[in-house]
């Protein structure tokens, strides 16, 4: 009976991990599409300025994204952090333009900038002791009032996927606080 429970638990953890990885891949894909759309929209605005259809001193087409205060970040138990959702339909600007569809992953399209070389959104929240954006495997600190970064890259805090689900975990900053344990 115990072996059966352990097997079911391992299967559930495996499925949870797969779900998190799929969600992260979907997030990354959507993020790359949004960046491409923003770039295309800015290029379109530049073309309109060069054609004289809008004044050259016209402000940027895209308003700046709001900065989400740390207190508003969603806190969940597992997975990779996600920035606060922004409803793009409430924006003042219009994106009614036919965009060329991005090629499927793995295609041989050469004119796209690789993801590693794309500029990082300055409004994307930073995490971890390294103060970088979310990427790869991350873990949340179990201290509800974490001041050390809330989410941490495995490599920055010496964790591996094998050590991920072993009880409560506290970041280096919160480990020093007596109330966190």
pLDDT, tens digit, 9 for 90 and up, residues 54-87: 777 766 554 544 444 444 444 444 455 555 444 4
With beta carbons less than 8 A apart as the criterion, state whether 142 and 167 touch. no
Top mean pLDDT of 2-16, 33-47, 55-69, 123-137 is at 2-16
Single pTM value for the model = 0.37
179 versus 75: the higher-pLDDT residue is 179
* Average pLDDT of the residues in 93-118: 42
pLDDT value for 1: 93
pLDDT value for 102: 39
Distance CA 92, CA 73 (A): 24
* Average pLDDT of the residues in 89-111: 40
26 versus 72: the higher-pLDDT residue is 26
What are 116-162's pLDDT values in tens digits? 455 667 778 888 888 888 888 888 888 888 888 888 888 898 888 77
Q: Is 153 annotated as a binding residue?
A: yes
CA 181 to the chain's CA centroid: 29
Average pLDDT for the chain = 70
* Average pLDDT of the residues in 92-107: 38
Q: Is 16 annotated as a binding residue?
A: no
Structure-block tokens of residue 79: 């997975």
pLDDT value for 58: 66
Contacts of 27 (CB under 8 A, 6+ apart): 80, 82
Distances (CA, A) of 156 to 24, 52, 84, 103, 132: 19, 51, 24, 34, 11
């Amino acid at each position: 009976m115990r072996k059966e429970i352990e097997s079911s638990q391992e299967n559930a953890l495996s499925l949870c991990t797969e779900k998190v990885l799929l969600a992260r891949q979907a997030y990354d894909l959507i993020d790359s599409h949004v960046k491409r759309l923003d770039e295309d929209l800015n290029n379109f605005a530049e073309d309109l300025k060069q054609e004289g259809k809008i004044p050259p001193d016209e402000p940027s087409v895209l308003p700046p994204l709001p900065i989400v205060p740390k207190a508003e970040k969603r806190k969940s138990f597992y997975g990779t952090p996600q920035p606060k959702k922004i409803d793009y339909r409430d924006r003042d600007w219009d994106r009614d333009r036919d965009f060329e569809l991005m090629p499927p992953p793995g295609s041989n399209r050469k004119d796209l900038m690789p993801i590693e070389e794309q500029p990082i959104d300055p409004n994307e929240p930073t995490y971890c002791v390294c103060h970088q954006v979310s990427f790869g495997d991350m873990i949340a600190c179990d201290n509800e009032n974490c001041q050390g970064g809330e989410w941490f890259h495995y490599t920055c805090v010496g964790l591996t996927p094998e050590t991920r689900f072993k009880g409560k975990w506290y970041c280096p900053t919160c480990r020093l606080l007596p109330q966190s344990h």
